[in-house]
Amino acid sequence: MGLGIIRRVACAVSGGVDSAVAAYLLKRRGFDVVGIYMVSIIGNFQEVFRVSCNINWDDVEEGRSTCPRTKDESDAAEVCRHLDIQFCTVNFVREYWNNIFTYLLDNYTRGRTVVPDVLCNKIVKFDLLHQYAFEKLGVDAVATGHYVRTTWGEYLEKRDDHSAVKLLCGTDPLKDQSYFLCGLTQSQLKRSMFPIGKLTKTDVRSIANELNLKVANKPESMGICFIGKRKNFSEFLDQYLEKHPGTIKLIGSGEVLGYHDGIHHFNIGKHIRSGPKFPQSSLRFYVADLDSVTNTVWACKGVNHPSLFATEFIIKEPLWIANSPFNDSDNAVVNFRCQRTHPAFRCHLSRIEKGVLSVVPDNPVRAAAPGQMCVLYRYDECLGGSEILKIKRTLFL
């Protein structure tokens, strides 16, 4: 994108308060704003092109058995009507199925704990949606209601084609969403606006209430829309994955503790609940490792068992957003997160071969798992992120 004047901006509206306030701030800034609601997934993928529902950009209400597409779309349309801006919808159900959902299923069958949001942002929200907005709507930039900032400013007012744009954490540490945008490229960021990146959630709700927006106090929580209730995630996966029985063994001794119907029901660090194939015990067992080759769930005793704490893990070298942390050597010191809700901790990076990095945290990390995103930071700059390939060492082994 050149340094031409930005006049027309598409704003992704989800029916949530964050994107609503983002759209308002854009209009207040003087842009010609068009609200665009993205239909990306459906309530039951077995009826993949029959019924569709929306995944919220910024707010996903858990506790519903189906995705409230009709309510979210009507809320988004109402926001645009209230703000007197154009409203349209675009359907990416097929693309979401092919690029995101099948990827999620494949990884869960291999015992990997994946973060589909990162891939969805990179491929669907910041690629396909951008492409549609630029080609079909004739916009100059695209905005979302994410809590992140860039060095080019909330409205690209500081853009400079001679410098790289850096992705920065949102001002509100409780809402910062840089973890989920760690896969964005320079070309994607250079045409993206994040109007609420410097605001707190309280600020956003206050603005929405001042505007008398109906979504001002709409409940929110983090989650994946097509899952429905989080506690039913295993049941959700069972609709698409065949049973693959295996054993649950005690790590270290190999003692058989019970049996299971598929390793996709388990996540490293989680409590193994008793059931018909796993007898009740006075001890609490937790998932220490998942072996898809032998279809074995390795269990440990106690929530703080040494096997749950990683002291080194391996990742692919990320496609660095702006700059690589490596200077003249194959070693660097940065901060990292393996989960969005965790604070960033210091670690030592080493390039052990081309395209492969070793991550050694200063302090052991509980429940790090293959498939999780390891997102790297230097101060408040998000450098990039990559999936954990394997846990190399724990306090136990």
pLDDT tens track for 247-257: 999 999 999 99
Q: Are residues 335 and 294 in the same domain?
A: no
Ordered per-residue pLDDT tens for the chain, 397 residues: 455 789 999 999 999 999 999 999 999 999 999 999 998 765 444 444 333 334 443 443 333 334 445 789 999 999 999 999 999 999 998 898 899 989 999 999 999 988 889 999 999 999 999 999 999 999 999 999 999 999 999 999 999 988 999 999 999 999 999 999 999 999 999 999 999 999 999 999 999 999 999 999 998 755 565 444 445 677 778 888 999 999 999 999 999 999 999 999 999 999 998 877 787 777 899 999 999 999 999 999 999 999 999 999 999 999 999 999 998 899 999 999 999 888 899 999 999 999 999 999 999 999 999 999 999 999 999 999 999 999 999 999 8
Residue 109, domain member (yes or no): yes
Q: Are residues 154 and 195 in the same domain?
A: yes
Extract the tokens encoding 122. 């990179």
Question: Residue 75: which of 16, 23, 18 has the closest Cα?
Answer: 16
Q: Are residues 118 and 199 in the same domain?
A: yes
Q: Are residues 267 and 341 in the same domain?
A: no
Q: Are residues 85 and 62 in the same domain?
A: yes
Q: Are residues 334 and 297 in the same domain?
A: no
pLDDT of residue 42: 53
- Domain with 246 in it: what CATH number? 2.30.30
Q: Are residues 198 and 111 in the same domain?
A: yes
Question: Residue 342: which of 300, 313, 372, 371 has the closest Cα?
Answer: 372
Q: Are residues 289 and 319 in the same domain?
A: no
Q: Are residues 165 and 105 in the same domain?
A: yes
95-131 burial code (b ≥16 CB/10 A, e <16): bbbebbbeebeebbbebbbbbbbbbbbbbbbbbbbbe
Q: Are residues 162 and 190 in the same domain?
A: yes
From 258, 278, 303, the end of a domain falls on: 303
Q: Given phi > 0 = left and psi -120 to 50 = alpha, else beta, which region is 302?
A: left
Residue 33, domain member (yes or no): yes
Residue 93, domain member (yes or no): yes
pTM for this model (two decimals): 0.90
pLDDT digit string, tens, across residues 225-247? 544 444 567 777 888 899 999 99
- Domain with 380 in it: what CATH number? 2.40.30.10
Residue 169, domain member (yes or no): yes
Q: 153: which residues sit within 8 A by CB, 6+ positions away?
A: 159
Question: Residue 269: which of 245, 302, 234 has the closest Cα?
Answer: 302
371-388 burial code (b ≥16 CB/10 A, e <16): bbbbbbbeebbbbbbbbb
Q: How many domains does the chain have?
A: 3
Give the domain extent around 318.
Answer: 307-394
- Domain with 33 in it: what CATH number? 3.40.50.620
From 268, 303, 338, the end of a domain falls on: 303
Q: 116: which residues sit within 8 A by CB, 6+ positions away?
A: 100, 101, 103, 104, 224
Catalytic residues: 120, 225
Give just the sign of the alpha carbon dihedral 384, 390, 393, 396.
Answer: positive
Q: How many Å apart are CA 192 and CA 4, to the nearest integer?
A: 15
Phi first, then psi: what are they for 150, rounded to 5°?
Answer: -135, 165
Q: Are residues 269 and 311 in the same domain?
A: no
Residue 334, domain member (yes or no): yes
Q: 240: which residues sit within 8 A by CB, 6+ positions away?
A: 45, 46, 105
Q: Are residues 292 and 163 in the same domain?
A: no
3-state secondary structure the chain: CCCCCCCEEEEECCCCHHHHHHHHHHHHHCCEEEEEEEECECCCHHHCCCCCECCCCCCCCCCCCCCCHHHHHHHHHHHHHHHCCEEEEEECHHHHHHHHHHHHHHHHHCCCCCCHHHHHHHHHHHHHHHHHHHHHCCCCEEECCCCEEECCCCCCCCCCCCCCCCEEECCCCCCCCHHHHCCCCHHHHCCEECCCCCCCHHHHHHHHHHCCCCCCCCCCCCCCHHHCCHHHHHHHHHCCCCCCCEEEEECCCCCEEEEECCHHHCCCCCECCCECCECCCCCCEEEEEEECCCCEEEEEECCCCHHHEEEEEEEECCCCCCCCCCCCCCEEEEEEECCCCCCCEEEEEEEEECCEEEEEECCCEECCCCCCEEEEEECCEEEEEEEEEEEEEECCC
Q: How far is CA 298 from CA 75, 250, 263, in A?
A: 46, 6, 10
